[in-house]
Amino acid sequence: MVSSWFSLYSTSTWRHSNTHKGLNPTLRAVKYQEDSIQATSIKVRAFPYDITVSAVYCPHKHNLKREQFQTFFQTQGPRFIARGDYNSKHIVWGSRLTTTKGRELLKVIQEQNYLYLSTGTPTYWPTDGNKIPDLLDFFVTKGNFFRIHRYSLQLRPYLGPFSNNSNYQHYNNNTKTYTTIT
């Protein structure tokens, strides 16, 4: 279920500024609420592209399937950055093991040609000494953000850090290779 929190608003005061380079961005906050996936998104409408930035949480008690992840990502639009606690473990993005939920999420990432960004280091540090730290938080993205960066107020999307390590691994679905992003 997707619901708007408030209406679109425009930063019209930028129209007469030389710093905006013809931009007149508008923002809209949107909440996605299901038992299995919860997200708050900011949709930014700006020249030349719109982009959605989301904070995502998937409670661990739900065993999400490919279709549920796909339904959520389809609400994000053609360009998005969705960072969150997916509670979906897969060795591909650096978890110490692979779960069914992780396999399902990876299917969607590969089928839709999305990208993921991960430090490859633990983001979950249990208070129980018998449990082992693991990686649960990472980004799933779609779109060309370098073009957005070049044309949009010269701001880069915030991509972390998850930890003191500022390196991220990007998996290219086409070439089946990893690239380290610093």
∠7-10-11 over CA atoms, to 5°?
140
Is 155 inside a domain boundary? yes
Is 41 inside a domain boundary? no
Instruction: Provide the whole-model pTM.
Output: 0.69
Is 11 inside a domain boundary? no
Listed in sequence order, the DSSP H helices in 51-143 are 66-74, 100-111
Is 18 inside a domain boundary? no
Going 11 to 14 to 19 to 24, the CA torsion angle's sign is positive
> How many domains would you assign to the chain?
1
Residues 4-21: tens digit of each pLDDT: 444 444 444 444 444 444
Domain that holds residue 95: 48-181
Average pLDDT over residues 169-179: 58
Residues 111-146: tens digit of each pLDDT: 999 999 998 899 999 999 899 999 999 999 998 765
